[in-house]
Amino acid sequence: MSEQGTGPWATQRLVIRKGRASDAEEIWPWREDDELNRWLTAIPTSPEQNKERWVAGLDSNYVAEMAGTIVATGKIAPEQAWAQSEVADQVDGAQVEIGWVVAPGHQGRGIGTEFARALLDISFASGARRVTAYCFADNAASARIMEKIGMRREAHFRTDSLHRSGRWLDSYVYAILDTDPR
């Protein structure tokens, strides 16, 4: 993927920028919220582990701020598109995955939709031709956001994801192409 620029980028209410190592301290309190953690793939168990994971992902991490406070974190991560070997070198940067987490206390106000739409715009402006996003099927709020920003549900996998509750859950795959209407 071509360089995504350094930002910051602005939406109606948000300032979006690349993540910094120092952001880990501000987002750590979210990681102690059980409702938020319900859908996260991995939960850090200490501020140190949170910072370590955040810093390890800085190439892909983004934050959304309102009035100087981080209200959401997200990612734009390269995915390897499938290709035949003769043309495999042409798929670099063609496909990315986006994801987001909205801070407790800021959910239900359209911030997730606004942020996800911005991540989509940044992805396409950076040269991606396909953007994907994933969620547990039970995470209705995340699926709604994907649909609101124009993504299509391309797959519904039945009981393919083991949740930390011990239950096998369904999952969804959403995607949008740079040529799709938004």
Tens-level pLDDT at each residue, the chain (182 residues) = 334 567 899 999 999 999 999 999 999 999 889 888 899 988 888 999 999 999 999 999 999 999 999 999 999 999 988 888 888 888 888 899 999 999 999 999 999 999 999 999 999 999 999 999 999 999 999 999 999 999 999 999 999 999 999 999 999 999 999 999 88
User: Does some domain include residue 2?
Assistant: no
> What confidence score (pLDDT) does residue 63 get?
98
How many structural domains are present in the chain? Answer: 1
> What confidence score (pLDDT) does residue 4 get?
52
User: Does some domain include residue 53?
Assistant: yes
Between CA 10 and CA 24 the distance in angstroms is 22
> What confidence score (pLDDT) does residue 5 get?
61
The CATH number for 166's domain is: 3.40.630.30
> What confidence score (pLDDT) does residue 143 get?
98
User: Does some domain include residue 1?
Assistant: no
> What confidence score (pLDDT) does residue 64 get?
98
User: Does some domain include residue 4?
Assistant: no
User: Does some domain include residue 38?
Assistant: yes
User: Does some domain include residue 120?
Assistant: yes
Predicted TM-score of the model (pTM): 0.92
Rg (CA), the chain: 16
Q: Give me the domain span that covers residue 23.
A: 9-81+89-177
Between CA 42 and CA 50 the distance in angstroms is 10
User: Does some domain include residue 151?
Assistant: yes
Nearest to 139 by CA among 115, 176, 112: 112
